[in-house]
Each structure stands twice: as C-alpha cells, then as structure tokens.
A and B are shown apart, each in its own frame.
Chain A
Amino acid sequence: AQSVAQPEDQVNVAEGNPLTVKCTYSVSGNPYLFWYVQYPNRGLQFLLKYITGDNLVKGSYGFEAEFNKSQTSFHLKKPSALVSDSALYFCAVRDGSTGGFKTIFGAGTRLFVKA
C-alpha cells in the first residue's frame, strides 16, 4: 500500500539555524513526491516536487529537499530558518497504483521557529 510517514509531529528550531523536516514514503513504481505548507486558516501552498532528475530539488522560500531512493526519504531542508517559516508542513506522494492522480498526504509536521 502507498503511504507517507512524517515521524515528527513538531520540530523546533532557532531562527538562523538550519531546519530539517523528515519524510519517508512507500510507493509502487516511481515516486512523485511533494512538499506543501499550510499557514493558519489557509489552504495548502505548493513548495517543491520531485518527479525525476536531480536528487536535490529547490523550491519556494529557500526550501529544498533531497530525494534518497535507497532510504525512501524526501526530507525538507532550509539552511537558515526564519520566524515566518513557522507553519504546518505536509509531505505527499502520488499513489501510482491507480490511474489518474490520487495524492496521499502525511500527517503533517508543525514547525516552530523561535526568534
């Protein structure tokens, strides 16, 4: 079965420090992987995706993610955290077992960046 795991409910970092939000996945076939961010009382915003190609993908707001096939991971990273990065982050994977485009989301990781 296709699945996404975000092992940390919450991540706390100090402003200016690097941040990592972890994600592991299980899919059949080639993974289509995504990160989304949700600010309070708003819908989700697309950050970045991995479909194919370079394992390090860069996205919006200075975020990047590294695809690791052997570890089935797609961790989100940022070299220097900002207080404004505080939000709920979701990792997602396309369910390749069906036709169309069914997306499975992880449970989400709440990021707190302290000034």
Chain B
Amino acid sequence: KAGVTQTPRYLIKTRGQQVTLSCSPISGHRSVSWYQQTPGQGLQFLFEYFSETQRNKGNFPGRFSGRQFSNSRSEMNVSTLELGDSALYLCASRAGQGTSYEQYFGPGTRLTVT
C-alpha cells in the first residue's frame, strides 16, 4: 500500500497570503488528522476529520481550517499568513475503525512565511 502523501513538500509564502495544503491518506483509511510541528511548540494537534466530518479541533485561530472529501483526501487552509505560521505541517491517517488506533504520517509540508 502506498503511504500518506502530502503536497507540496515545500512552500514559501509572504505574510497576508493564504495557503492550501493537501493530504492523501493510505487507501482505506477514513480518519485524517493534521498537526503543526515547530521547534518551540513541538507537535500540536490542529484537527481531525472522519468521513468528511470534523470531529476534533485544536487550539488554533479560525485562520486555520480544513476539510475532507468523499475519497478521504484532506486539505487544510491557512488564511492571512503570519510569520509564526512557519512550521512543518504533518498529516496522519488512521483506519478509523476497530483497534487500529495508530496513525501513519506523511513526510510533511514545510511552510516558510516571509
């Protein structure tokens, strides 16, 4: 099975712009979660989607949003970018049923805001 893929891998944006990141989960996985990783704050949970519904949301401002499509692919959007949004954004997929609680992570999208 192919792993979790994220596009693009690297992105440079300027303050005030918006950005959309994409994640394709492992085939058959219905749950997709997004995380922000920074040296200072570590790994922070952004949100989780399951069958196109947002089930959990972390403590991030409304500029951060996401969605999931019927094929389980997910996108996250950050509007009005700030310098502090520079981070590695990780997507993780999970089967979402039974006892398969472990998550499988993509390689991440490195976002730099200048």
Contacts and interface: CB of A to CB of B under 8 A. Distances in A.
Contacts of B106: 43
Interface in B33-62: 33, 35, 42-45, 48, 50, 55-56, 58
Contacts, number: 63
Given A100-B48, A101-B94, A46 B43 contact: no
Interface stretch (A14-22, A67-75, A103-111): A103-111
Interface string A15-32: 000000000000000001
Given A42-B107, A46-B104, A51 B99 contact: yes
Nearest to B58: A102
21 contacts: A32-B101, A34-B102, A34-B103, A42-B107, A43-B90, A43-B107, A44-B103, A45-B105, A99-B55, A99-B56, A100-B48, A100-B50, A101-B50, A101-B94, A101-B96, A101-B101, A102-B56, A103-B45, A105-B35, A106-B42, A107-B42
A9 to B, nearest CB: 11
A99 B43 CA distance: 20
Nearest to B102: A46
A99 B57 CA distance: 11
Contact of A105 (B42, B48, B50, B94): B42
Nearest to B99: A51
Interface of A: 32, 34, 36, 41-46, 49, 51, 90, 94-95, 98-108
B72 interface: no
- Which label, helix, strand, loop or mixed, suits the secondary structure of the A interface? loop
Among A34, A90, A100, A102, the most chain B Cβ lie within 10 Å of the Cβ of A100
Contacts of A34: 101-103
B66 interface: no
A98 B59 CA distance: 13
B33 A103 contact: yes
Contacts of B94: 101
A91 to B, nearest CB: 11
A94 B55 contact: no
Across the A-B interface, the 4 shortest Cβ-Cβ residue pairs = A100-B55, A43-B105, A105-B43, A102-B56
B56 A101 contact: yes
